[in-house]
Structure 1
């Protein structure tokens, strides 16, 4: 081995052992299942937060335009009563 190869070998960190290789198959499956449960919970929280933000924005727009926030789309109560001037 040349001096350059020895130097490179010393500079390179030793390979890390991946912990999943040492777990038995049952434990690995259990961990995979728990990861999926956590992922589903996180996605549900994100979806709920997005829906809440949309609802808040909808009520804010309705308050500014003077319309009924509980009216269904296309109903006459959704047509603004007075023209809204842009700021």
Structure 2
């Protein structure tokens, strides 16, 4: 997953939250007796907020794991380089 996809998902989730919040505010103003809609939309906003928090946690963990992967790859390359150097030294000693 690339940074663009992660950022786009966060923006879309925030935008969806804002649209529902705006609709909820309008319904509360124009139709305050429609508690069925109001309650349902408030519950949906709570669910979206929970998803936003989970997504943010996921993103942080993903970035940390990706950084660890890069570090591991760097260490692996350094060890391969050292291994090749040692092999060259052993071959030089043998001949």
- Measured against the shorter chain, the TM-score band is 0.3 to 0.5
Q: Which has the higher helix share?
A: 2
Give the structure, 1 or 2, with the largest relative contact order (CA under 8 Å, sep 6 or more). 2
- What is the TM-score with the length of structure 2 in the denominator? 0.43
Larger Rg: 1
